[in-house]
Structure 1
Amino acid sequence: MAEEKIEFETNSETVKFSRNYFRFAVPLMAEFVATFLHTFWGSMAGFPLDRSTNSLNSSVISSDVTIGYPDSNLLPAFQAGFAVWILIVGFFNISVVHFNPAVSVGFLVSGDLVIYMLIPYVVAQCLGAAAGAQIAKSLRGEDLVPLYIQDDANITAIFFCEFITTGFIMFFTLAMVVDKTYQQHTGPFALGMIVFQGVLAGRWVGAGCLNPARWFGPALVTGGAAWNYHWVLWLGDCVGAFVFAIIYMMFFAPEDRIWFLKLNKKVSNLKSPAPYNVTKL
């Protein structure tokens, strides 16, 4: 009897450890790895600060780093969009990866991320971004090119561009995750293309961040002017995700989760008169 009790307690501890591992450890490790890859790929693909051959690998020639519109606008947008597509598909059966603090804020609003996991998620994302940026900097042998915001930039324009572009990323992300009947297999590709559009949309006003952790890493390892107005990227992206998550959940979520119907039902219950208790004398 005692042996059976010990075996039962051992099995219970094993089940508890397994549950906690897949509930906490796996998602956080997935956030770290996904954000690491996202930042590493983007940092390695970025153009060098000094485009003379002296600062580059000997296999690179000057003509390879001549920047035109396709190089400075289309290629970074494609790189970011395809990276998002690859990461979503790659981690699809492991975890619903966010690799973006703004997306984590949006999932908190929708109820798909518990509040005590928000800070660990963001910390894992920032650590992954910092590691990816540091390794990219070491391999390249030079400082990275973070998202610089000039002193004379239109901060209001940057904020609202980040607000709108990241907001729609959150909106369509929730459309994929919240609706359990979603059957569109090209959804991850569509999200990648939304990122592509967002990067293009923000280039001319100095925005195009869409993911504050992605640019936190390069700013951390580069320092200096890389921190200039860095806060507006966090504020614009997180507020945009917050507001658009509310819009989706209020008006566009599936019937069993839409806030508008739940709110309407509560209001109706409040307005309904209480039934009279009729007692026969």
Structure 2
Amino acid sequence: MWKAALTELTATASLMFTLTTSIIACLDSHEVDPKLLVPFAVFIIAFLFLVVMVPLTGGHMSPVFTFIAALKGVVTLTRALVYVLAQCIGSIIGFFILKCVIEPRLAYTYSLGGCAISGTGVNYGIKSQDALLVEFTCTFLVLFVGVTLAFDKKRSTHLGLPMVCLVVAGAMALAVFVSITVTGRAGYAGVGLNPARCLGPALLHGGSLWEGHWVFWVGPFLACLVYYAVSINLPKEGLVWVDGEYDVLKLALGSSASLYNPSVPNSLPEERNAEFQVQV
């Protein structure tokens, strides 16, 4: 467990440094709409880290995935607590390295790549309740699409590790894309999806990052609880198709054909009636 926790710490620190620098580079580029590049960067980086880390520790790198894994019984509560502690420390280390090497102008402009719901000015940012709703919805989206597949042993084994990681990374990129495009508010950094990622820059950069910081913890954990309640009621077996069994038109045509069937003698009404009942 301690080796896995140390691996989670190292992976989280590396992920925070790589992901944040890539996002800042996209936003600071000279593209007409750089926000479209951010989900693509999230998809590529998340996929690479998941492919490497899933066989080692489960590829959590986020208290959200660790919490839902504990709820589902995939990891013990003790391991979950150690993982979350390692992820928070890893986030702090990753952002500390980033703060040491990043240009001060970029660190100030983008708040060290932290999770912010408001900037400076009256018309900047979004309300805390709106940010909470976005955080809850996007986290639930990632859990419902990605985790549902990842925790299904039969389907995940059938599809293979790369495909499962592709789906989870795609769900994360989709959530990021929705959060930064649908709101369209300056000063809002988009969905966090990872409370540890929001903790590091808040401690090292401070300022406006502490405003509404609770949103990036409460929203994901509420989404985990709701998803757990939904997941225990999902069908245990896959959908089995029976060709035309419940086709209303086919039932109607079958009933009409049975009323007049040349192959059935007219002198045997009991047999025709029995055939009609079987077809219905």
TM-score by length of 2: 0.70
Q: Does 1:125 align with 2:93?
A: no
Q: How high is the sequence identity, in percent, across the aligned residues? A: 22
Q: Does 1:157 align with 2:130?
A: yes
- The residue number in structure 2 matching 1:224 is 207
1:221 Cα deviation after fit: 1.4
Root-mean-square deviation (CA), in Å? 2.3
1:32 Cα deviation after fit: 0.9
**244 and 67 in structure 1: CA distance in 2 versus 1, 3 angstrom threshold:** same
- The residue number in structure 2 matching 1:80 is 42
1:43 Cα deviation after fit: 2.2
- The residue number in structure 2 matching 1:147 is 115
- The residue number in structure 2 matching 1:181 is 154
Asked if the contact 1:174–1:245 (Cα under 8 Å) also holds between the matched residues in 2, the reply is no
Asked if the contact 1:150–1:228 (Cα under 8 Å) also holds between the matched residues in 2, the reply is yes
Match of 1:107 among 64, 69, 73: 69
- The residue number in structure 1 matching 2:268 is none
User: Which runs of no fewer than 5 residues in structure 2 stay unpaired?
Assistant: 120-124, 239-280
Partner of 2:134, secondary structure, is: helix
1:254 Cα deviation after fit: 6.1
**233 and 252 in structure 1: CA distance in 2 versus 1, 3 angstrom threshold:** farther
Q: Following the alignment from structure 2 to structure 1, what is the Cα–Cα distance between the partners of residues 146 and 76?
A: 17
Residue-pair matches, total: 216
1:100 Cα deviation after fit: 0.9
Match of 1:94 among 41, 56, 71: 56
Q: Following the alignment from structure 2 to structure 1, what is the Cα–Cα distance between the partners of residues 200 and 236?
A: 34
Q: Does 1:199 align with 2:199?
A: no
- The residue number in structure 1 matching 2:246 is none
**179 and 135 in structure 1: CA distance in 2 versus 1, 3 angstrom threshold:** same
TM-score by length of 1: 0.70
User: Which runs of no fewer than 5 residues in structure 1 stay unpaired?
Assistant: 1-23, 52-63, 256-281
Q: Following the alignment from structure 1 to structure 2, what is the Cα–Cα distance between the partners of residues 254 and 35?
A: 35
Asked if the contact 1:27–1:97 (Cα under 8 Å) also holds between the matched residues in 2, the reply is no
- Larger Cα Rg: Structure 1 or Structure 2? 2
Q: Following the alignment from structure 1 to structure 2, what is the Cα–Cα distance between the partners of residues 137 and 252?
A: 47
